[in-house]
A and B are shown apart, each in its own frame.
Chain A
Amino acid sequence: MAEPTPLAATDPSLLYPSPFREFCKAFASNRGALGGLAFLLLIVFCALFAPWVAPHDPSEQYRDFLLTPPAWLDAGQAQFLLGTDELGRDLLSRLIHGARLSLLIGLASVAMSLIPGVLLGLLAGFSPRLLGPSIMRLMDIMLALPSLLLAVAIVAILGPGLINTVIAIAIVSLPAYVRLTRASVMVEVQRDYVTAARLAGAGLPRLMFVTVLPNCMAPLIVQATLSFSSAILDAAALGFLGLGVQPPTPEWGTMLASARDYIERAWWVVSLPGLTILLSVLAINLMGDGLRDALDPKLKNAA
């Protein structure tokens, strides 16, 4: 008999592509997602190196240059690229420093809702009798309140500020993670590999975290990006309502709130912070769409 040809086994084109490479390929073919990623990286860079990137100190008040228009307009000053605000502070520097806060609030609130959300979801999925339904009822109640309103109520109780903003947003985005985790756990628990692990004597913690959880990650990653962008929006909305991070901290929403009075004579103090919020949120959402399509092709056309 002929010897088995070793060629077929080593020919890389005949092997299954690794899941990671498949994901990268799918993600890279989505131009919108790449654009979003590029913009997000720019913001992350600005946030990390804000003191070196920003041309001025964000709270330095140049009293001779109140409400200076952006540099490309007639009255603009070359040293204030995007103009100054009502106290003569450089707008570009404030936006760059604001990126720190927005990203920080986004990351912190995602972490603070993702971890307890996944834990509760796992518990709910693994105990379908008593604990599960009671957790889900609690989440239903939280979902009965519009998220921004609940966040407003929480901040109204705890008082405005950075940390309370993060807590409020984390609480508001908790139910989505619980529901999502529970739904995927309920599907996975029925699978044979879970039964096999159980028969092999795996304990409950092992079943939860090692066997089942890694197979529920795809929708959770997508949800994390989406709630990252909505955390930035909600934080800005709270700041705009005067309930978020307090002035003079350069937060994008808070900047808009104080700019409202200059709507008739200084369009740049109103437009630019909002445009920054819009572009950042849009970039993250584009990336989220790309992630969803790449991780879970089944969902490709879902809204």
Chain B
Amino acid sequence: MLSFIARRLGLLIPTFFGVTLLTFALIRLIPGDPVEVMMGERRVDPQMHAEAMHRLGLDKPLYAQYLDYIGALSHGDLGQSLRSQESVWREFLALFPATLELAFAALIFASVLGLGAGVVAALRRGSAIDHGVMGLALTGYSMPIFWWGLVLIMFFSVYLGWTPVSDRLDLLFDVPPVTGFMLIDTLLSDEDGAFLDALRHLILPAIVLGTIPLAVIARMTRSAMLEVLREDYVRTARAKGLSPTRVVVVHALRNALIPVLTVFGLQVGALLAGAVLTETIFSWPGIGKWLIEAIGARDYPVVQNGILLIACLVILVNFVVDILYGLVNPRIRHQR
């Protein structure tokens, strides 16, 4: 197992450097003069221009610039936002829990419903329920989620008035940030009704963000279950006279979960991308909205290193999923 982890870690390092090269190249690929673009004006005073170039280290040769970049990264220096002068790392840390909370809620929504729907569709193969579930799953998979969010707002917030339109908590509540997770913070605070309010804010964005993973998990669970239900050990379990529930949950579902687990890993990237759209629609103060605003304001240090941080996150999660996969399934562990 240790050598398996070491091998995977070894693959991680070149990927990490590749991603830094990519984010490094991003800034240099801006057409025209980066200083003019960053200052937002043309014909900057030549002396100021030279100073800015020197301050940003842009007057050095490219390889020296890259080494500088890596050197700064190794000190944990991710630069400063051009707008707020705050360090990019601090801003990221402050906003990340909001995205994490949203992503967790979406993933819980998607996996509970998706696993259930997939199992039911597999057990009732070919029935109207199966066709219905699969049709809905394909619709969810084809969903433009930015539009889906608008439709849900239109129905639940505007028409029925059940849920708030944006943000994480009503301004009436004053909840001190402890963990950054609003659901936990509101429970810890002594504000009455704050928890329910936070929940009402979370529910629509979580549904929107969870829709595509839900569809993928439902399809994947169904096909994995169909595969497993044909196996001899399921027939044996039935022949032993075990209850149908026990056969499905303990014998079949547990083995069907292995491929579904990989999908979880793959969905993390999709979740982060979806968070960009979901947070924009619901004004959810997370890293997706932060990045889009930074792009709009041409805040390049934030764009560059925000993307680097997200890429590292995706790489890390996939690494953890790989390891988990090796733990669950020994056949993978011994492959080279």
Measured CB to CB, the residues of A under 8 A from B are 32, 137-138, 140-142, 144-149, 152-153, 156-159, 229, 233, 236-237, 240-243, 253, 256, 260, 263-264, 267, 270-271, 273-275, 277-278, 281-282, 285-286, 289, 301-303
The answer to whether B187 has its CB under 8 Å from any CB of chain A is no
The answer to whether B50 has its CB under 8 Å from any CB of chain A is no
The answer to whether B198 has its CB under 8 Å from any CB of chain A is no
Residue of B nearest to A273 (CB): B147
Decide: B154 and A263 in contact? CB cutoff 8 A. Answer: yes
* A264 CB contacts on chain B under 8 angstroms: 158
Decide: B18 and A137 in contact? CB cutoff 8 A. Answer: yes
* A271 CB contacts on chain B under 8 angstroms: 151, 154
Residue of B nearest to A239 (CB): B146
What would 14 A/B residue contacts be, using CB atoms closer than 8 Å?
A32-B135, A144-B314, A149-B272, A149-B276, A156-B295, A157-B26, A241-B277, A242-B296, A270-B154, A273-B147, A274-B147, A281-B142, A289-B138, A301-B226
Residue of A nearest to B144 (CB): A277
Decide: A144 and B311 in contact? CB cutoff 8 A. Answer: yes
Decide: A144 and B146 in contact? CB cutoff 8 A. Answer: no
Decide: A240 and B146 in contact? CB cutoff 8 A. Answer: yes
- When chains A and B are docked, how far (Å) is the Cα of A274 from the Cα of B146? 9
- When chains A and B are docked, how far (Å) is the Cα of A270 from the Cα of B281? 13
Decide: B273 and A148 in contact? CB cutoff 8 A. Answer: yes
Decide: B314 and A278 in contact? CB cutoff 8 A. Answer: no
Shortest distance from the beta carbon of B302 to any chain A beta carbon, whole Å = 11
* B18 CB contacts on chain A under 8 angstroms: 137-138, 140-141, 144
The answer to whether B120 has its CB under 8 Å from any CB of chain A is no
Indicate which residue in A32, A145, A157, A277 contacts B310 across the interface (CB closer than 8 Å). A145
Main secondary structure of the interface of A (DSSP, over half): helix
Instruction: Name 15 extra pairs, CB < 8 A, besides A152-B295, A278-B144.
Output: A137-B15, A137-B18, A144-B314, A145-B311, A146-B273, A148-B277, A153-B303, A229-B142, A233-B144, A236-B146, A237-B146, A240-B144, A275-B147, A301-B223, A302-B223
Given A241-B277, A302-B223, A281 and B150 contact (CB-CB distance below 8 Å): no
Please choose the segment from B53-61, B214-222, B233-241, B326-334 that sits at the chain A interface, where 4 or more of its residues have CB less than 8 A away.
B214-222
Indicate which residue in A142, A149, A229, A302 contacts B307 across the interface (CB closer than 8 Å). A149
* A145 CB contacts on chain B under 8 angstroms: 19, 22, 269, 307, 310-311, 314
* A236 CB contacts on chain B under 8 angstroms: 144, 146
Shortest distance from the beta carbon of B137 to any chain A beta carbon, whole Å = 9
- When chains A and B are docked, how far (Å) is the Cα of A242 from the Cα of B138? 27
Shortest distance from the beta carbon of B178 to any chain A beta carbon, whole Å = 29
- When chains A and B are docked, how far (Å) is the Cα of A253 from the Cα of B147? 9
Residue of B nearest to A147 (CB): B273
Residue of B nearest to A263 (CB): B154
Decide: A267 and B143 in contact? CB cutoff 8 A. Answer: no
The answer to whether B280 has its CB under 8 Å from any CB of chain A is yes
- When chains A and B are docked, how far (Å) is the Cα of A277 from the Cα of B277? 16
Shortest distance from the beta carbon of A265 to any chain B beta carbon, whole Å = 9
* A140 CB contacts on chain B under 8 angstroms: 15, 18
The answer to whether B30 has its CB under 8 Å from any CB of chain A is yes
The answer to whether B141 has its CB under 8 Å from any CB of chain A is yes
The answer to whether B31 has its CB under 8 Å from any CB of chain A is yes
Shortest distance from the beta carbon of B264 to any chain A beta carbon, whole Å = 13
Residue of A nearest to B315 (CB): A144
Shortest distance from the beta carbon of B11 to any chain A beta carbon, whole Å = 8
Decide: A144 and B19 in contact? CB cutoff 8 A. Answer: yes
Given A149-B276, A156-B303, A271-B151, A303 and B216 contact (CB-CB distance below 8 Å): yes
Main secondary structure of the interface of B (DSSP, over half): helix
Decide: B277 and A263 in contact? CB cutoff 8 A. Answer: no
* A157 CB contacts on chain B under 8 angstroms: 26, 29-30
The answer to whether B270 has its CB under 8 Å from any CB of chain A is yes
- When chains A and B are docked, how far (Å) is the Cα of A145 from the Cα of B21? 13
* A301 CB contacts on chain B under 8 angstroms: 223, 226-227
Given A147-B273, A303-B219, A278 and B303 contact (CB-CB distance below 8 Å): no
Given A138-B18, A240-B277, A285 and B141 contact (CB-CB distance below 8 Å): yes
Decide: B220 and A303 in contact? CB cutoff 8 A. Answer: yes
The answer to whether B261 has its CB under 8 Å from any CB of chain A is no
Residue of B nearest to A148 (CB): B273
Q: When each residue 81-92 of chain B gets 1 if its CB lies under 8 Å from chain A and 0 otherwise, what string results?
A: 000000000000
- When chains A and B are docked, how far (Å) is the Cα of A267 from the Cα of B269? 32
Closest 7 CB pairs of A and B: A274-B147, A146-B273, A141-B18, A303-B219, A148-B273, A281-B142, A282-B142
Decide: A256 and B147 in contact? CB cutoff 8 A. Answer: yes
Indicate which residue in B19, B222, B280 contacts A241 across the interface (CB closer than 8 Å). B280
Q: When each residue 278-314 of chain B gets 1 if its CB lies under 8 Å from chain A and 0 otherwise, what string results?
A: 0010000000000110011000000100010011001
Residue of A nearest to B216 (CB): A303
- When chains A and B are docked, how far (Å) is the Cα of A159 from the Cα of B220? 38
| Residues B26-44 near A (CB distance < 8 A) | 26, 29-31
* A273 CB contacts on chain B under 8 angstroms: 147
Decide: A281 and B144 in contact? CB cutoff 8 A. Answer: yes
- When chains A and B are docked, how far (Å) is the Cα of A277 from the Cα of B142? 9
Residue of B nearest to A302 (CB): B223
Shortest distance from the beta carbon of B20 to any chain A beta carbon, whole Å = 10
Given A256-B146, A282-B139, A149 and B303 contact (CB-CB distance below 8 Å): no
Residue of B nearest to A158 (CB): B31
Given A149-B276, A263-B150, A141 and B142 contact (CB-CB distance below 8 Å): no
- When chains A and B are docked, how far (Å) is the Cα of A242 from the Cα of B135? 31
Shortest distance from the beta carbon of B283 to any chain A beta carbon, whole Å = 11
* B139 CB contacts on chain A under 8 angstroms: 278, 282
- When chains A and B are docked, how far (Å) is the Cα of A138 from the Cα of B222? 33
The answer to whether B252 has its CB under 8 Å from any CB of chain A is no
The listed residue with most B CB atoms (<10 A of its CB), out of A153, A263, A267, A281, is A153
Shortest distance from the beta carbon of A303 to any chain B beta carbon, whole Å = 4
Residue of B nearest to A282 (CB): B142
